[in-house]
């Protein structure tokens, strides 16, 4: 019989795939068992310390007769696992709790809780995590005066984080309030002239500092969202998303069918071309009241469209913004959004975004 070559021996003597897998399983079980034992020992130490007892190491296992005691090796001291710091939930390397729920970093009150830098920026309401990562990589973020370029760098509430030179802070609780705005209130946080603002209407709704998303004219009524969620507010007002808005417009004279067609076809205003998504008579008995759906967020856009065509707007009421309506909310009253409404807003549901934008 011909002798096998060295190369053949190398492959012939190699362990089969099943043997390799079994060895891997055994090693994995061993590592898990050691980790489990270490965890149990640490918990026992903590319990003993809480009871004021002196911790005693468990007795060493009895050696078998086939395993004689070695006399020529120096005994190595057992590692003191009690000296290791206990990592709090929400800190570096934290894992979800037993129930599978991830820790909510914004609810952590301890200043040493650590989260990734891009997540810190997103929770501060500046922008989304992806945009935050780009800001960090572009060198526009500093932590305690040092410019950082790693989005995953861990920071805490105690750190001073600035974005484009402006210091930012974590939001503790996100608040979402729907207001049915009346006339004679301006949509701003404060007014140097001392005029009434929409914040006067939601006093007592929350202890958090909220602000209006977008603007409604002083004499425009209807749906207005107030929140402290900066990331959501930016999405809802950014022109690229073209969020749906529906208005009821009361005019000084009947609107002709020709002008309705013109509004859908588009008109050119001083700041550019604009076209409504749809328009029609809101009341079959009167052509003075028109409903208009539009995605543009330009300033006073609905009023300017009708004024351009020679109409005087007597009343303007926003009946829908994104997926929000003023149903069951009386004028000047407010309510908190429910969980489903918030979820639809956060995920920019396709029902209230221009279709061609949603599918791009």
What predicted TM-score, i.e. pTM, was given to this entire model? 0.55
- Asked whether the beta carbons of 214 and 236 are under 8 A apart, the reply is yes
User: What angle, 0 to 180 degrees and rounded to 10, lies between the N-to-C axes of helices 230-237 and 339-346?
Assistant: 60
Q: What is the DSSP letter of 243?
A: B
- Asked whether the beta carbons of 149 and 136 are under 8 A apart, the reply is yes
Q: What is the pLDDT of residue 93?
A: 41
Q: What is the pLDDT of residue 318?
A: 96
**Domains of the chain, with CATH numbers?**
109-168 (3.10.290.10), 173-239+326-360 (3.30.70.580), 245-321 (3.30.2350.10)
Q: What is the DSSP letter of 109?
A: -
Q: How far apart are CA 271 and CA 278, in angstroms?
A: 21
> Tens of pLDDT along the chain (360 residues)?
444 444 444 434 545 566 667 777 787 788 778 877 877 787 777 777 766 666 666 555 444 444 555 444 444 455 454 444 444 434 444 444 444 444 444 444 445 578 899 888 877 767 777 888 999 999 999 999 999 999 999 998 889 999 998 888 776 688 999 999 999 999 987 788 889 999 999 998 988 888 899 889 999 999 999 998 877 888 888 888 889 999 999 999 999 999 999 999 999 999 999 999 999 999 888 899 999 999 988 889 999 999 999 999 999 999 999 989 999 999 999 999 998 898 888 877 666 666 544 444
Q: Write the CB contacts of 249 (distance below 8 Å, at least 6 apart in sequence).
A: 289, 290, 291, 292, 302, 306, 313, 315, 316, 317
Residue of 13, 104, 217, 277 with catalytic role? 217
Q: What is the pLDDT of residue 190?
A: 77
Nearest to 251 by CA among 292, 297, 210, 206: 292
- Asked whether the beta carbons of 185 and 201 are under 8 A apart, the reply is yes
Q: What is the pLDDT of residue 73?
A: 47
Note if 6 is an active site residue: no
**Rounded to whole angstroms, what are the CA distances from 330 to 70, 74, 78?**
86, 83, 71
Token pair, residue 329, equals 């909310």
Q: What is the pLDDT of residue 8?
A: 41
Taking the CB of residue 190, how many other CB atoms lie within 10 A of it? 9
Q: How far apart are CA 168 and CA 159, in angstroms?
A: 10
């Amino acid at each position: 019989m011909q002798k096998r070559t060295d190369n053949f021996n190398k492959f012939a003597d190699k362990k089969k795939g099943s043997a390799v897998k079994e060895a891997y399983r055994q090693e994995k079980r061993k590592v898990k068992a050691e980790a489990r034992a270490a965890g149990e020992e640490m918990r026992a130490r903590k319990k003993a310390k809480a009871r004021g007892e002196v911790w005693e190491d468990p007795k060493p296992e009895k050696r078998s007769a086939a395993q004689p005691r070695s006399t020529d090796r120096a005994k190595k001291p057992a590692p003191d696992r009690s000296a290791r710091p206990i990592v709090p939930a929400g800190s570096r390397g934290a894992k979800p709790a037993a129930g599978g729920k991830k820790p909510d970093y914004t609810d952590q009150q301890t200043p040493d809780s650590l989260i990734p830098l891009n997540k810190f920026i997103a929770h501060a309401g500046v922008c989304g995590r992806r945009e935050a990562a780009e800001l960090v990589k572009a060198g526009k973020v500093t932590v305690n005066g040092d410019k950082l370029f790693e989005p995953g760098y861990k920071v805490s509430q105690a750190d001073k984080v600035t974005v484009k030179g402006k210091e930012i802070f974590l939001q503790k609780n996100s608040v979402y309030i729907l207001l049915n705005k009346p006339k004679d209130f301006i949509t701003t946080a404060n007014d140097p002239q001392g005029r009434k603002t929409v914040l006067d209407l939601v006093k007592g709704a929350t202890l958090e500092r909220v602000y209006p998303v977008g603007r409604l004219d002083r004499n425009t009524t209807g749906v207005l969202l107030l929140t402290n969620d900066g990331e959501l507010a930016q999405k809802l007002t950014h022109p690229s998303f073209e969020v749906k808005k529906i208005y009821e417009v009361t005019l000084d004279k009947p609107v002709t069918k020709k002008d309705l067609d013109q509004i859908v076809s588009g008109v050119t205003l001083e700041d550019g071309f604009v076209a409504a998504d749809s328009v029609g008579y809101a009341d079959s008995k009167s052509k003075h009241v028109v409903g208009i759906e539009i995605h543009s967020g330009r300033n006073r856009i609905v009023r300017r469209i009708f004024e351009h065509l020679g109409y005087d707007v007597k009343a303007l009421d926003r009946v829908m913004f994104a997926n929000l309506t003023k149903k069951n909310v009386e004028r000047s009253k407010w309510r908190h959004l429910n969980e489903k409404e918030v979820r639809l807003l956060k995920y920019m549901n396709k029902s209230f975004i221009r279709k061609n934008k949603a599918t791009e």
